[in-house]
């Protein structure tokens, strides 16, 4: 999103604000802390006695006459069999079966619950900062209220369906059986005869998505699966390689057909074209346009990044927002329950999504249904898989490397100017499982060098890595429920009670970073690479925001693995090297009539002797696009060259002439 506009620009434009009573454009499923029992709660059986999770699947399957493999396959695609100790998912889903109860999780946080960034991120033309109304619970779609249906069918109280894993599994089995009966099909012991019921369970309203979801479930059943869940229990689904489901049952679903002809998606992703608004609005001197810019990528500019967001709202609200020309835009939205994907902005055009115009003009943005600061944030396997297939397709098409210098979280995008740094958004946050995501991408994160390499890849065990965060609810200082995390915390010294490292950009007053779930000032995340500054026993120090930052990295439970790559350091005699949030051209490159964009350095510096992981090398570019009429849109290219570096939690850029680059030591 955008940086702040100069005062002269502000005076020429009307600041548009959505009325609080506007249509239901931002239903927010912010789960309640009270909904989650302690993480140590025992897993009860249907009769209240202790029971294994595997036994719970067996009992529920037998009771409702659903093949156990079907029940296990559906649950795997929803939750990978994790209970999450009764806490809801990012879209208000509970338990292994992801039964949705959005009403219990309803709250009033704004889009991206933290940060005030301006979506376009270009000083030359500021976009709008807007508020949005929250709908009533009754306005939520049926797919976000499946737990109520399960309660009606089973007679089990909603609270028990949310908190009791065995009851939740019974609720899911009951919904599958009800779907089978509604289709006029017998409760067959043959898994192949349950294709239609599985497709119906997805909650999809179109046949392509429902069929894609069912295909994924039956793929899991054919291949089999086994894992130890978050409750410490081993669950096994034996492979059935010869299983061929009756896909013809999809004709009985009566679902709509979507037009995917304009959408740029792989065949393995259920995708539709749902265009963002590109229109003029306002009158006279205050006439404006939105919510994206027309372009001609990749012919005009290369696409170097894919940015992962979460909506901070639900799928339907995103579709409404992206049709508003006074709002912002992104390229794709992915639905949590089934992975259904809508494309809004053609990839040749520039969406306003990342808060940094340079990154916007060189990236594609994916919004995922969900919330960063849900008390026990988790994302469905269906959405993870659809997202990974889409990203893998886009990366191949646009020659984007599958690494964390190119596949960014919104929270890794730098502020374009010093004043924008504190307001940059922090999604998808510390609970997004980057290691699992990269396995699904077909590019698993792993050690690539010897133990003494001076470059490391952050790679904690997600399930076992549980740093304490605060600020998951409006209370602000509450302790978030214990949860696996992709992030490690960084200290000023090699001990757990040492202060956290400072982020002078986030806190110009020099105060310490905090444990806040939205505080990225002392955080390194899975897949990011950093140059090693020092090692002491079980602790490793990396260069981070111009300082040594220590994290606990014991050999028995490492939080990082050795890596190989390129490392840069300030060129000899350079002294302090400035750091930038955008790779813009030099002043002489701008033609007449195009406003020169200042090269404002961020409040960080690289000092002699410090080292940083270097990513792509690029020539300075700026896309001049400030009018609805595209005839004067221009890509300005300069001679200045930059390296993208892993500066802190966010990436940044340094001028190539200021640094020396070499391969990491192995």
Could you say which residues of the chain have pLDDT below 50? 1-50, 107-113, 130-134, 375
CA distance linking residue 387 with residue 166, whole number of Å: 29
Whether 289 maps to a domain, the answer reads no
In a shared domain, residues 538 and 574 = no
Token digits of residue 153? 């069918």
598 and 455 assigned to the same domain: no
Residue 127: predicted pLDDT: 62
Q: Is residue 264, in this structure, part of any structural domain at all? A: no
Length of the chain: 666
In a domain, 414, yes or no: no
DSSP state of 245: -
- Clarify whether residues 496 and 638 are in a common domain: no
Matching residue, tokens 């009966």:
181
pLDDT of residue 179: 97
pLDDT of amino acid 651? 98
Which helix (H) or strand (E) is 655 found in, with range? strand 651-655
| The pLDDT value given to residue 51 | 59
Angle at CA of residue 379, ends 373 and 383, nearest 5°: 135
239 and 145 inside one domain: yes
pLDDT of residue 114: 60
In the block, which residue shows the tokens 């009158």? 283
Query: Which one of 230, 252, 274 terminates a domain?
Result: 252
Q: What pLDDT does 317 receive?
A: 83
Of 156, 472, 237, 207, the residue nearest 195 (C-alpha): 207
Give the Cβ contact number of residue 430 at 10 Å.
Answer: 30
Question: Which residue pairs, CB below 8 angstroms and at least 24 apart, start in 195-201?
Answer: 195/245, 195/246, 195/247, 195/249, 195/250, 196/246, 196/249, 196/250, 196/252, 196/253, 197/70, 198/70, 198/73, 198/74, 199/249, 199/250, 199/253, 200/253, 201/74, 201/172, 201/175, 201/176
**Are 87 and 198 within one domain?**
yes
626 & 487 share domain = no
From CA 126, how far away is CA 285, in angstroms rounded?
15
Domain assignment present for 180: yes
Q: Please list the alpha-helical segments (H only) found in 362-511.
A: 381-398, 434-440
Provide the token pair at 134: 């929250």
Residues 290, 285: Cα–Cα separation, whole Å: 16
Own/partner contacts of 553-561, CB < 8 Å, gap of 24 or more, are: 557/461, 557/464, 558/459, 558/460, 559/458, 559/459, 559/460, 559/465, 559/488, 560/456, 560/457, 560/458, 560/459, 560/460, 560/488, 561/445, 561/446, 561/447, 561/448, 561/456, 561/457, 561/459
Question: If we measure between CA atoms, which residue out of 593, 571, 596, 598 comes closest to residue 582?
Answer: 598
Domain-ending residue, one of 562, 581, 604: 562
- In whole angstroms, how far apart are CA 65 and each of 61, 114, 175, 194, 322? 6, 46, 12, 11, 43
Q: For residue 535, give the 3-state DSSP assignment.
A: strand
In 431-525 the beta strands, taken as DSSP E runs, fall at 455-458, 487-489, 523-525
Question: What value, to the nearest 5°, has the Cα angle with vertex 640 and ends 634 and 646?
Answer: 105
Asked whether residue 280 is assigned to any structural domain, the reply reads no
In contact, 602 and 414? CB cutoff 8 Å: yes
Give the number of domains in the chain.
3
Stated pTM of the model: 0.89
Which of 188, 217, 252 is the last residue before a domain boundary? Answer: 252
382 falls within a domain? no
Residues 612, 536 share a domain:
no
Q: How far apart are the first and last CA of the chain?
A: 39
Give every CB contact of residue 425 below 8 A, 6+ residues apart in sequence: 1, 112, 114, 115, 117, 309, 355, 410, 411, 413
Q: What's the rounded Cα separation, in Å, for the pair 558 and 554?
A: 5
Q: Look up the domain containing 612 and give its range.
A: 570-663
Taking the C-alpha atoms of residue 184 and residue 173, their distance in angstroms, rounded to an integer, is: 17
Q: Residues 557, 500: one domain?
A: yes
Whether 154 and 242 map to the same domain: the answer is yes
The answer, yes or no, to whether the previous bond of 464 is cis (omega within 30 of 0) is no
Whether residues 531 and 608 share a domain: the answer is no
Alpha carbon of residue 307 to chain centroid? 8
My answer on whether 595 and 521 are in the same domain is no
Judgement on whether residues 533 and 611 belong to the same structural domain of the protein: no
Q: What's the confidence (pLDDT) of residue 112?
A: 38
Residues 664 and 666: their CA atoms lie apart, in Å, by: 6
Within-domain flag for 282: no
Q: Is the dihedral of CA 65, 70, 75, 81 positive or negative?
A: positive
The residues facing 364 across adjacent strands are 306
Q: Please indicate, yes or no, if residue 77 is contained in any of the structural domains.
A: yes
């Amino acid at each position: 999103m955008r940086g702040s506009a100069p005062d002269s620009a502000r005076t020429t434009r009307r600041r548009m604000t959505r009325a609080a009573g506007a249509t239901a454009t931002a239903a927010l499923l912010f789960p309640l802390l009270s909904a989650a029992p302690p993480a140590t709660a025992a897993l009860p059986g249907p009769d209240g006695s202790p029971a294994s999770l595997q036994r719970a699947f067996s009992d529920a399957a037998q009771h409702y006459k659903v093949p156990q493999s079907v029940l296990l396959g559906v649950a795997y695609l929803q939750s990978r069999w994790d209970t999450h100790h009764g806490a809801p998912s990012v879209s208000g889903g509970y338990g292994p079966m992801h039964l949705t109860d959005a009403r219990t999780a309803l709250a009033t946080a704004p889009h991206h619950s933290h940060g005030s960034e301006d979506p376009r991120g270009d000083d030359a033309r500021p976009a709008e900062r807007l508020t949005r109304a929250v709908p009533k619970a009754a306005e939520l779609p049926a797919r976000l209220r499946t737990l109520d249906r399960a309660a009606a069918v089973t007679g089990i109280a909603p609270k028990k369906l949310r908190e009791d894993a065995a009851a939740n599994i019974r609720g899911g089995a009951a919904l599958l059986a009800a779907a089978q009966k509604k289709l006029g099909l017998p409760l067959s012991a043959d898994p192949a005869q349950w294709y239609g019921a599985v497709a119906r369970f997805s909650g999809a309203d179109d046949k392509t998505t429902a069929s894609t979801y069912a295909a994924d479930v039956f793929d899991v059943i054919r291949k089999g699966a086994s894992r130890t869940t978050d409750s410490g229990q081993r669950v096994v689904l034996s492979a059935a390689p010869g299983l061929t489901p009756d896909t013809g049952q999809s004709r009985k679903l009566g679902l709509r057909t979507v037009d995917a002809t304009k959408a740029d998606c792989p065949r393995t992703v259920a995708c539709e074209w749902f265009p963002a608004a590109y229109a003029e609005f306002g009158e006279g001197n205050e006439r404006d346009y939105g919510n994206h810019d027309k372009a001609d990528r990749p012919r005009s500019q290369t696409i170097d990044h894919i940015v992962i967001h979460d909506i901070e709202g639900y799928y339907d609200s995103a579709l409404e927002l992206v049709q508003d020309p006074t709002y912002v835009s992104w390229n794709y939205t992915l639905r949590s329950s089934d992975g259904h994907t809508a494309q809004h902005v053609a990839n040749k055009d520039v969406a306003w999504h990342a808060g940094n115009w340079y990154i916007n003009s060189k990236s594609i943005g994916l919004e995922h249904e969900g919330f960063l600061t849900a008390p026990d944030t988790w994302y469905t396997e269906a959405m993870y898989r659809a997202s990974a297939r889409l990203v893998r397709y886009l990366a191949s098409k646009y020659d984007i490397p599958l690494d964390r210098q190119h596949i960014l979280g919104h929270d890794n995008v730098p502020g374009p100017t010093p004043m924008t740094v504190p307001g940059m958004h922090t999604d998808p946050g510390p609970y997004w499982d980057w290691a699992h995501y990269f396995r699904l991408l077909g590019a698993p994160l792993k050690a690539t060098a010897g133990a003494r390499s001076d470059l490391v890849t952050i790679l904690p065990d997600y399930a076992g890595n549980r740093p304490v965060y605060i600020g998951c609810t409006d209370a602000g200082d509450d302790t978030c429920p214990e949860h696996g995390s992709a992030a490690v915390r960084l200290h000023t010294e090699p001990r757990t009670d040492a202060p956290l490292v400072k982020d002078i950009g986030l806190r110009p007053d020099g105060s310490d970073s905090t444990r806040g779930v939205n505080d990225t000032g002392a955080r390194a995340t899975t897949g990011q690479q950093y140059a090693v500054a020092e090692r002491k026993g079980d602790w490793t120090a990396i260069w981070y925001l111009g300082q040594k930052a220590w994290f606990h990295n014991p050999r028995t439970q490492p939080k990082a693995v050795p890596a190989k790559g390129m490392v840069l350091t300030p060129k000899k005699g350079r002294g302090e090297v400035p750091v930038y949030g955008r790779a813009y051209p030099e002043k002489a490159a701008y033609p007449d009539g195009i406003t020169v964009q200042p090269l404002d350095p961020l409040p960080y510096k690289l000092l002699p002797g410090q080292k940083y992981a270097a990513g792509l090398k690029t020539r300075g570019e700026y896309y001049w696009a400030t009018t609805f009429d595209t005839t004067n849109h221009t890509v300005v290219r300069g001679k200045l060259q930059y390296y993208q570096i892993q500066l802190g939690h966010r990436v940044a850029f340094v001028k190539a002439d200021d640094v020396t680059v070499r391969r990491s030591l192995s």
